[in-house]
Amino acid sequence: MAVYQHNTRILVALDCIIFGFDGESLKLLLIKRNFEPEYGKWSLMGGFLNEGEDLEEAAGRILYNLTGLRNNYLEQLQTFGTVYRDPVERTISVVYYSLVNIADQDVAAIQAHNASWISLDSKPTLIFDHDQMVTVALQRLRYKAALHPIGFELLPSKFTVPQLQKLYEAIYGTQLDRRNFSRKIMATDLLLSTGEKDTNSVTKKGQLYTLNSDRYRKYLDGYYTFLPELAELSGG
């Protein structure tokens, strides 16, 4: 059997940037480390690639271990490989970002990992190069959410148009014109009326919708462009 002649040991890690939305703000799922290095500091959830495991499988495993969720939106972001990024041993990190519905999380799993949902506006300083990872992930999310309606992954199964607008305002960090947003969203044919109303609303804006999954898949496949004007707000 052929063997490569190379004696250097380099570890491959995976870090997951997990975004959630609580109805008001965009959040990150972060862990407060109870192990070295950087004990007591905040970081992304990560782990090492196992033998016989491909990258996507490993990222899904890490996401599941922390949240108890499977089959969520998961996309490879970038590889970070600065020589001294990890003070313990030479390690390259393949970074993924994921979009989850906070209501679906496994609370026990999150507590077991000493994890918390923290608003992006209140994000503490993270270890290693994790702050840089989050910056790149947010830029990718903003760009991708303008072209494809992946933001819906952060919502509950039933939602109102004002809730959807709040989500996109949280993603882009800006206020959007209500009438213009509503008109453009309804024109996408992505929303299906449930015939129900949000019990907390007293106006017709409280109508509950669900996602048209067939139409959604066509947007993801590039048949249509979602809200391309938002791409200008992506920051990268």
Q: Which long-range contacts (CB under 8 A, 24 or more apart) does 119-125 make?
A: 119/25, 119/26, 119/27, 119/28, 120/25, 120/26, 120/27, 120/28, 121/25, 123/28, 123/30, 124/30, 124/42, 125/41, 125/42
Please list, residue by residue across 195-231, b when 16 or more beta carbons sit within 10 angstroms of its beta carbon and e when fewer do.
Answer: eeebeeeeeeebbbbbbbeebbeebeeeeeebbeebe
Helix 178-187 and helix 161-172: axis angle, to 10°?
110
pLDDT category of residue 3 using cuts at 50, 70 and 90: confident
Go through the domains of the chain in sequence order and give each one's CATH number: 11-145 (3.90.79.10), 147-233 (1.10.10.10)
Read off the pLDDT of residues 198-210 as tens digits, 9 standing for 90 and up.
887 666 668 999 9
Report the pLDDT value the prediction gives residue 235, as an integer from 0 to 100. 64
pTM, entire model: 0.93
Per residue in 219-233, pLDDT (tens digit) is 999 889 999 989 888
Q: Given this model, what pLDDT does residue 204 score?
A: 62
For residues 188-194, average pLDDT: 96
Other residues' Cβ atoms within 10 Å of the Cβ of residue 66: 25
User: What is the four-CA torsion angle of 108, 111, 112, 117, rounded to 10 degrees?
Assistant: 120
pLDDT of amino acid 5:
79
